[in-house]
Amino acid sequence: MSWAVRPAPEPGQASGAALAPALRSASSVLSLAGAAVIWVALLGPVIALFFHVTPGTVSGALSAPGALTPLVVSLEAGGITLAVLVCLGTPLAWMMARGRLPVPRLWEAGVLACLLLPPLVVGLLLIFMVGPLTPIGQLLGHVNLSATNTFFALVVAEVYESAPYYVLGAQAAFAAVDPRMEQQAELLGDRPSRAARRVTLPLAAPGLAMALTVAWARAMGAFGAVLIIAYHPYGLPLQIWTTLQETGLASALPFALVLLVVALPLPVAAYLWSARARCRRRG
Amino acid sequence: MLDADVEVDRREFTLAVALRVAPGERLALFGPSGAGKTTVLEVIAGLVPPRRGHVLLDGRVLTRTSAPRRAVPPWQRRVGLLRQDPGLFPHLSVRQNLEYGAGPRPDRARTERLAADLGLAGLLAARPAGLSGGQAHRVALGRLLLARCAALLLDEPYTGLDPGLRRVLTALVRSLAADRDIPVVLVAHELAEAQAFADRLAVLDRGRLVQDGTADAVVRRPASRRVAELVGYLGFVPYPAGGRGAVAGVHPERVLPGAHEERGLVLSGQVRASHPAGAGWEAGLAVGPDVVWCRLPEAPGAEATVTVLDPPCFGADGVLLPRATQVSA
């Protein structure tokens, strides 16, 4: 321990030392303010919506005959889309994450291409792929299905718009699980399917949940491809579009609010759950 | 009995190893990095297929490349593998980790007894993230023991832990493996760790087993100059009595100050350099054109005479000379 008396600071040094914390606190206040401005700007449209919609207008719009039908159609199509994504997208994502596919970059490029194509273009291309005059369309015709302007077409469009978000998110979730964990489970007596159920899926669950809810939000809001191949039956986005065109902004807003209420809580809940799960694992 | 005789093609060389480990026996597979030690364990565990050979455990054929071919998958082998990363499942509690391989209805009392033996009694409800490094390794070991493994493979599991903890864990594995009477193979690249654990030492270099014997025999009578280098012989001085080109190996820890001709080879020279080594000093002694390192507290410039205790001698071809031509002890 030193008992030496510390020399008094030079006057110039003292003011410099006092200035530095002041500058630091000013800059932190400024960065906080900047972040708040960006956050409010991003959420601005949602905040504006709440200022322009009253409970009366929402109940009025939704109590009109048949007004809830688009919501039911969207929920049903979204639910089936999620089921399709889980059944087909999960194994694909796992194989991509574990490098079990030949030419892995090619598979990734395919999924990315699907993500990068504008939804309207996807809709146009789907007409060429599953339209009534195509071989696939004719095959579907044999089982009394049509991929244009039907509920089935709506599901097809939603799958195409949301699948890349799910597959790439699930791939990242599986890639984050150390393959040695699966190996250890196998050495302890689990066959691969059991190791996947007991180790891989629980460890990837937070990431999978996030991927699934992002895909849900995309499916609920799918519009571009839906507009081209599934104009009927109306889901919520098309209901908003047609109401806007036919009766104006005011009557479309309650449906926009309903879409937000349906599409957003799941991602927010999944985000909170996965953040909590990750936090528990890190201790 | 674990019986493995395998060949595996690697990029730089072909690994060809044959080893037999009896129940309750502890074998240390010792060698430099990249010698193929971990690959041997992975072949036994069924994680790497061999090009040729067989692996038998207690009479069960786990791998056989000749007809009838057989490759038992890892989940049916009952071979436990412990690596440097304990690999605990982070989403499960300590109890769930311990009981992971113990079957659908694990004996809770047995888990609690083992947890007490391992010093984990109060931690059964904890998550792996809350454990220290030593505790995590104890859980990983307990998990293998509760899974009733028929053989235990340890791949430098305690590298990176502090020496005291490493000693405690090594002693724990020793006693637990002895109680269960199963063959154990430890991979080590530090001789002290291998000696502390094993009954038998197998030295692996570039895919070949170059010596197999008790730790003491390997250290005192390395089969070749290369093995001598691997087990810590730092200097080789000419030994004319062994023939043209023969050398005697000098291990820094097997050197006495002074001339004791009846105990080994006497060397004299000037100390060229010295530095602290462990709790003492190591000095580089110039003997002719060679510098021999030995444990001496001499400062540079001093003249010193030392006796190299019973040094192993090697012929010009690097092979250990027969005992008759060795320096008399």
3 state SS of B186: strand
| pTM score | 0.78
Q: Of the candidates A188, A195, A203, which has its C-beta nearest B147's C-beta?
A: A188
Report the DSSP beta bridge partners of residue B313.
B248
Q: Which residues of B touch A (CB under 8 A)?
A: 45, 47, 73-81, 83, 85, 87, 89-91, 100-101, 127-130, 143-144, 147
- Looking at residue B209, its pLDDT comes to 92
Amino acid at A61: A
pLDDT score, position B326: 55
What is the tens place of the pLDDT at every residue in B216-235? Answer: 889 889 999 999 999 888 88
* Domain range summary for chain B, segments of one domain joined by +: 2-220, 225-325
> Which one of A177, A180, A183, A184 would you mutate to disrupt binding with B, by most B Cβ within 10 Å of its Cβ?
A184
Average pLDDT over residues B177-198: 86
| CB-CB neighbors (< 8 A) of B75 in chain A | 186-192, 195
pLDDT given at position B127: 92
Contact in structure between B19 and B212 (CB atoms under 8 Å)? yes
Question: What confidence tens digit (pLDDT) does each residue in A167-182 have?
Answer: 999 999 999 999 999 9
Contact: A186, B130; criterion CB under 8 Å: no
What pLDDT is attached to residue A273? 85
Map tokens 């194994």 to a residue.
A91
pLDDT at residue A1, rounded to an integer: 39
Q: Give the burial string for A113-140 (b: 16+ CB within 10 Å, else e).
A: ebeebebeebbeebbeebbeeeeebeeb
More confident residue, B280 or B214: B214
In which region does residue B24 sit, left (phi positive, over 0), alpha (psi from -120 to 50) or beta (all else)? left
Q: Which of residues 4-63 of A touch B (CB under 8 A)?
A: none
- Beta-carbon separation of A187 and B91 below 8 A: no
The model's confidence at residue B74, banded by pLDDT at 50, 70 and 90, is very high
> Residue B289, class by beta-carbon neighbours within 10 Å (0-12 exposed, 13-18 middle, 19+ buried)?
exposed
Is the Cβ–Cβ distance between B10 and B58 less than 8 Å?
no
Question: What are the domain boundaries of chain A?
Answer: 69-282
Q: How far apart are CA B177 and CA B172, in angstroms?
A: 8
Query: Which tokens sit at B80?
Result: 């436990």
Contacts of B91 in chain A (CB under 8 A): 202-203, 277, 281
- Tell me, what's the ipTM? 0.83
pLDDT at res. A271:
82
Identify all chain A residues contacting B90, using CB atoms and an 8 Å cutoff.
203, 281
- 3-state SS class at B1: coil
- Put simply, the answer to whether A191 touches B130 (Cβ < 8 Å) is no
pLDDT score for B48 = 93
Mean pLDDT by groups of 10 residues along chain A of 283 residues: 47 61 85 92 85 78 77 92 96 92 90 91 91 89 87 94 95 94 93 93 92 91 90 87 88 82 78 81 70
Which residue do the tokens 């001709």 mark?
B261
CATH class of B2-220: alpha beta
3-state secondary structure of A71: helix
Task: Tell me how long chain A is.
Answer: 283
Q: Does A209 touch chain B (CB under 8 A)?
A: no
Task: Please state, for a pLDDT cut of 70, what percent of chain A lies above it.
Answer: 93
Q: A146 in helix, strand or coil?
A: coil
Closest CA to B44 of B57, B33, B58: B57
Fold of A69-282: MetI-like fold (1.10.3720)
DSSP string for B68-113 = SPEE--GGGT-EEEE-SS----TTS-HHHHHTTTS-SS--HHHHHH
